[in-house]
Structure 1
Amino acid sequence: MLTLTENASTIVRDITEQTAAGDPSNTRAGLRITMEASPEPAFAISAAEGPQPGDATVEQHGATVYLDQPSAEQLDDKELDAGLDPAGNVQFALNHQG
């Protein structure tokens, strides 16, 4: 199953808190990773108020990530990392678990 680095967990929690700000009772908010239709594996990451039917759920270090079925299969042995670029934009990276 996908794992998260501490940096990724912190950024996911920050994004989730912003998503749930309009509804503090929403404890299911998180990020959702979906696989895009393309010749090479490509993923889309978006804020989500909760899982979609069939999503796998990863909870680590207080962060929640939802994965559609194709993403869950492709990312099974990966680790999600995150950081900020010089302009302050979030950059996600996938690494092999190790």
Structure 2
Amino acid sequence: MLAITDVAAEAIKTLTTDAELPDGGGLRISAPDPEQGLELSLAGQPSTDDVVLAGDGVSVFLEPVVAQVLDDKVLDVQPVAGSDGEQELRFAIGVQEQPEQPQA
């Protein structure tokens, strides 16, 4: 299942609050054209077949195909230098770190 870092959860809370989404609204991740990557948008509610991840006041809606692709990933926020030289925050997808297995 997609993991969400604390920093990403705070960013989602800020976005949904600023957008004045209704209760139950959240961040939706879809793939309208999978060859072009993923699309993030704010949604007042999930689509009928979306996989819903919710907790700590944050909701993320994933298209079923996106849920499969992101199953072993983590959603994070990273600072990136903007075109004006200022830092801006962007969502990023990374690989979940697996706990180390004890060696026999």
Tell me the TM-score range normalised by the shorter chain: 0.7 to 0.9
Figure out how many residues of one structure are paired with residues of the other and give that number. 93
Return the TM-score normalized by structure 2. 0.78
Highest RCO, 1 vs 2 (Cα 8 Å, sep ≥ 6): 1
Give the stretch that moved more between structures: 48-57 or 12-21: 12-21
Q: Which runs of 5+ in 1 are unaligned?
A: none
Residue in structure 2 matched with residue 46 of structure 1 by the alignment: 41
C-alpha distance in structure 1 between counterparts of 2:70 and 2:78, whole Å: 19
Q: Which runs of 5+ in 2 are unaligned?
A: 98-104
Give the stretch that moved more between structures: 87-96 or 9-18: 87-96
The 3-state SS of whatever aligns with 2:47 is coil
**Percent of aligned pairs with the same amino acid:** 28
Question: Which aligned segments of 4 or more residues in structure 1 are displaced greater than 3 angstroms?
Answer: 83-90
Residue in structure 2 matched with residue 9 of structure 1 by the alignment: 9
* Pair member with larger Rg: 2
Residue in structure 1 matched with residue 102 of structure 2 by the alignment: none
Superposition CA RMSD, Å: 1.8
**Does the CA contact (< 8 Å) of 1:6 and 1:61 recur in 2?**
no
